[in-house]
Amino acid sequence: MSGQPPRWYPSTNFHSSQKGGRSLVEAELEASVAWLIGLRWLAGIGVLIVTWSVNAIFKFRISPFPLYLIGAVILLYNIIFYFTEQRFKQTSISVKGYIGLAQWQVGLDWLAMVLLFHYSGGIESPAILFFIFHIIIASIFFKPRTAYGFTIAAILLVWGTVWLEFWGILPHRPIVGFIQEPLYKNIWYVLATLFFFGATGLISAFLATSINQRLRQREEEVMELTESLQRATDRLQALNDGARTISSTLDLTQVLNRLVKNTAEAIQVDACSIRMVDATGQILEEMAAYGLSQVYLNKGPLELEKNPLAREVLSGKVVNIPDTTQTNLLQYPSEAAEEGISSMLSAPLIGKNGPMGILRAYSRETDRFSDDDGTFLSAIAAQGSIAIENALAYQAIETLDATKSQFVRMVTHELRSPVSVMRSLLRTITAGYAGGLNDQQSDILNRAQKRVDALQGLIDDLLDLAAGKVELKSHGEAEAINLEDVIVQVMERFEVIAKEKEITFEWYNQSPGVLISTKATKEGLDRIFNNLVSNAIKYTLPKGKVIVSLERIGDEAYTIIEDTGIGISMEAQSQLFQEFYRAPNAKEIEREGTGLGLAIVKDIVTHIGGRISVKSKLGKGSQFTVILPVLKE
Amino acid sequence: MDKKLILLVDDDPDVRLSLRLPLEATGYAISEAANPKEGLTAIKNSKPDLIILDVMMDSATAGFQFALDLHSEDPKSELKEYKEIPILMLTAIHGTTPLRFSPDQDYLPVQKFLEKPVEPEVLIASVKELLGE
């Protein structure tokens, strides 16, 4: 039993935050009822013990039977209350149920108290004082009106008993030997005692209820404060979570969609939207919406000129419209009414260059939004603005990159056609289809042709690089490709050249019998291994070694192309995959070369979702490792 | 034996020249057309044994359209007597068109593709292959 009496009040606006599935009020009521039941065991036992001791120890004469009966009845109905309370605990009983239970308890207690009072001598009974703490208990537990009701009932019952005994209608049951001269017939004594009893009862009730009310008020304030603190914490959490989700992507559509959804959830409203000022600066475009019907979204353009609300928000203000039927700020009031929108709250999305748009929350309730909501929406909008600006910047960069690549593709293609024709024409001469040439002419044309060939190679590489960045789709759709097949094809292609240079040219599948396929385009994979094997053979001196191996490790395919070639200096290794970079010792071996081959390889590998690395020692050889994700069966 | 006749359809006269020289040197008769329309006239004038066709001419897919018309499976096609003439198509695989090229009977009735620039040896070998020589 706790030393502090718990309290309950059937308050109309009680705190409803759930703790373990029950409200605070219910929890308090339950505890109070249990507390009363606990006290009552003592009361019942107390009555039995005192009755026994009055007779046995103090040798006063008393008729003990009724008193024992009262004690027993108290214990008996307490047992019933105990089990009722246990049952209440298991089923979810409303606040009213608990109050009913409490009122029954207090009612029965007071009846028992009156009987005890009567059987222990009426006006002469020292038990009369016990009424005081009963009054205090009632004042603590109940609303003042109920407490006064019980107090007055107690006073009337005591008065009634005393007068009935006074007039001899009820028999007087004195504790014989306790008081020498009977007082119950002494009118002055009776009047005075009843007066002071009544006054004490009412004053006690007044004091207890007033103190209790003050405490209750304090507690309500604390509850309100707790609730608003909780709300503030929830919102901070929501803001934080929202910021993280929203910033986790750079895709503008995704940013906007997450922002509207998170905002609606954080403010706990039905709908939310984002509108952004278009390029003309006159129209607000619908960018993202959550919880709004298509009909409403298609209602028509939001024109700044006709929309005072939008103008006000874009001037940097948070605008709360508590009742959409009572404002002339809306451009489409009837559409809003049809959608069931009763109130709305709008905050500006402000970027570095001024207002970008509006973040708006909608509710079916009128007067839904508080000042707190305004501050909160404004905070979300500030965060959202940053995410939107980032996404916009990223979008701009992507567009720029695509435009640049497109430009490179166009230019290169325009370059390619004439070079291609020039090369074909030259070939007809050098191959002798256009008549004979003298040696010098032939030599000059051969040199010219070599240069044109190199130019052609450069242009083709540039095109590939640009294509990779614009749309890898132009290289065909990605599909499951068996890596072994691709490598075997590449190996066959270089067999003759390797043989001419007397290079040991071998390949090993370290995971025989295991299907190692990856999702890519055949051309892409061919390009990767063609370039790497071609380089290995090109930069390996005659009688050297080029070894290719394939192995599946976990969910990745490791292809290693190893040579005993000229090697790559540390400095060159760091720049190897950069566009147009060629290592100095590579230039010595082959003067013509675009420096784009490895850049393209890296580009394709990255697109497939893999990675490439190089290990090399100058003069010893190089090892390129291509790691590609394996397609799971 | 008469020389076999090859029709070159390409809008670039330099390309036609670079094709013509090695083919003539190999012993083929050549006729030329600068666009599909001229090509059709040339086919009707004297039926070639083989057509070498550029993909991109007036439009990015003019060559495709020409091949489709010529090899139409429609029995009412007015070009049905030329249905069996093999077509060698020249493509610029690095081109800006996003279409993928590969001979496909249903999609594109073309017998062979070559990527520009074409090596004379490769050109002659392909022509011989298509003519069944």
pLDDT of residue A346: 94
CA distance B76 to chain A (A): 35
The token pair at B40 is: 């059709």
Domain range for residue A326? 247-388
Is there a contact between A476 and B100 if contact means CB atoms under 8 Å apart? yes
Alpha helices in A91-129 (DSSP H): 95-119
| Phi, psi dihedrals of residue A5, rounded to the nearest 5° | -65, 130
Chain B, 81-120: which have a CB under 8 Å from a chain A CB? 92, 94-96, 98, 100, 116-120
pLDDT tier at B108 (50, 70, 90 boundaries)? low
Single out the residue in A360, A388, A416 at which a domain terminates.
A388
* Co-location of A463 and A328 in the same domain: no
The domains located in chain B, with CATH, are 5-131 (3.40.50.2300)
| Cα A50 from chain centroid (whole Å) | 63
Whether A522 is covered by a domain: the verdict is yes
What CATH number does residue A321 fall under?
Answer: 3.30.450.40
Is A234:A268 a contact under the CB 8 Å cutoff? no
**pLDDT beyond 90 at A465:** no
pLDDT of residue A24: 58
Tell me: do A210 and A252 sit in the same domain: no
Residues A41 and A163 in one domain: yes
Residue A505 belongs to domain with CATH number: 3.30.565.10
- Domain count for chain A, please give it: 4
Q: Is the Cβ of B124 closer than 8 Å to some Cβ of chain A? A: no
Q: What pLDDT, on a 0 to 100 scale, did the predictor assign at position A3?
A: 41
Tokens 């789709």, residue located:
A473
* Closest Cα in chain A to B18: A425
**One domain for residues A484 and A622:** yes
Give yes or no for residue A12 having a pLDDT over 50. no
**What is the rounded average pLDDT of the residues A567-592?**
83
Q: What are phi and psi of A280, to 5 degrees?
A: -75, -20
pLDDT for residue B96: 43
Give the per-residue pLDDT at A503.
93
Q: Are both A124 and A268 inside the same structural domain?
A: no
A376 & A431 share domain: no
A204 and A72 within one domain: yes
- Average pLDDT (A524-541) is 90
Q: What CA–CA distance (Å, rounded) separates A2 from A35?
A: 8
Is A7 inside a domain boundary? no
Q: Are residues A453 and A584 in the same domain?
A: no
* pLDDT one-digit tens code per residue, A280-327: 888 888 889 999 998 888 888 888 888 888 999 999 999 999 998 888
Residues A79 and A189 in one domain: yes
DSSP at B3: P
pLDDT value of residue A9 = 40
A436 and A584 fall within a common domain:
no
Domain boundary among A425, A448, A472: A472
pLDDT of residue A243: 79
Helices (H), A178-270: 187-247, 252-267
Looking at residue A2, its pLDDT comes to: 38
The region of weakest confidence among A171-175, A221-225, A602-606 is: A171-175
Predicted local confidence at residue B91, as pLDDT: 79
pLDDT, average across residues A434-446: 87
- Candidates B8, B10, B11, B18: best to mutate against A (most CBs of A within 10 A) is B18
pLDDT in tens, B16-27: 999 999 999 999
Calculate how close chain A gets to B103, using CA atoms only, in Å. 15
Chain A contacts to B (CB-CB under 8 A): 409-410, 412-413, 416-417, 420-421, 423-425, 427-428, 431-434, 456, 459-460, 463-464, 467, 471, 473-474, 476
Q: Considering the domain boundaries, does residue A449 fall inside one?
A: yes
Order of strands across the sheet that contains B112-115: B29-33, B5-9, B50-54, B87-91, B112-115
What's the confidence (pLDDT) of residue A471? Answer: 47
The per-residue pLDDT for A41 is 92
- Domain check: are A320 and A457 in the same one? no
Question: Of A349, A444, A334, whose CA–CA distance to A391 is shortest?
Answer: A349
Residue of A nearest to B99 (CA): A474
- DSSP letters spanning A27-73: HHHHHHHHHHHHHHHHHHHHHHHHHHHHHHTS--B--HHHHHHHHHH
Does residue B97 surpass a pLDDT of 50? no
Q: What is the mean pLDDT of residues A518-529?
A: 87
Is residue A208 a part of any domain in this protein? yes
pLDDT above 90 as % of chain A:
24
pLDDT reading at A224 higher than 70? yes
Instruction: Flag whether pLDDT at A20 surpasses 80.
Output: no
Domain presence at residue A451: yes
A77 and A162 assigned to the same domain: yes
Residue A11 belongs to some domain of the structure: no
Q: Note the pLDDT of residue A25.
A: 58
Q: What is the pLDDT of residue A433?
A: 86
With a pLDDT cut of 70, the percent of chain A lying above it is 93
In the prediction, which pLDDT does A412 show?
73
Asked whether residue A232 is assigned to any structural domain, the reply reads no
CA distance A10 to A231: 24
Query: Pick from A456, A472, A488: which residue ends a domain?
Result: A472
Mean pLDDT, residues A551-571 taken together = 92
The b/e string for B88-117 (b: 16+ C-beta within 10 A; e otherwise) is bbbbbbbbbbeeebeeeeeebbbbbbbebb
